[in-house]
Amino acid sequence: KAGVTQTPRYLIKTRGQQVTLSCSPISGHRSVSWYQQTPGQGLQFLFEYFSETQRNKGNFPGRFSGRQFSNSRSEMNVSTLELGDSALYLCASSTDSQGVETQYFGPGTRLLVL
């Protein structure tokens, strides 16, 4: 099976712009979670989608949003970019989200905000 794929892998934006990142889960996985990784804050949970519904959300401002499509692919959007949004954004997929299932991570999208 193909693993989790994320596009694009690298992105450079300027402050105030918006960005959309894409994640394709492993075939058959219905849960997609997003995480932000920065040197200062480490890995932090953004949100999780299951069957096109957001089921859990982390402590991020409303500028961070996401959605999931009927084929389980997910996108996350960040509006009005700030310098502090520069990070590695990881998505992970699993069969469900009850807590015991393994989450498989993609390679990430590295976002640089100038």
Partner 1 sequence: AQSVTQLDSHVSVSEGTPVLLRCNYSSSYSPSLFWYVQHPNKGLQLLLKYTSAATLVKGINGFEAEFKKSETSFHLTKPSAHMSDAAEYFCVVSLYNQGGKLIFGQGTELSVKP
Binding region for partner 1 (CB under 8 A)? 4, 31-33, 35, 42-45, 48, 50, 55-56, 58, 90, 92, 94, 97-100, 102-108
Determine contact, residues 106/2, Cβ cutoff 8 Å: no
Q: How far is the CB of 16 from partner 1 (least distance, A)?
A: 28
Which class for 44: exposed (0-12), middle (13-18), buried (19 or more C-beta within 10 A)? middle
Q: Which is nearer to partner 1, 55 or 63 (CB)?
A: 55
Cα–chain center distance at 3: 15
Q: Which is nearer to partner 1, 33 or 113 (CB)?
A: 33
Q: Which is nearer to partner 1, 17 or 41 (CB)?
A: 41
Q: How far is the CB of 19 from partner 1 (least distance, A)?
A: 19
What does DSSP say about strands 109-113 and 10-13: parallel, antiparallel, or unpaired? parallel
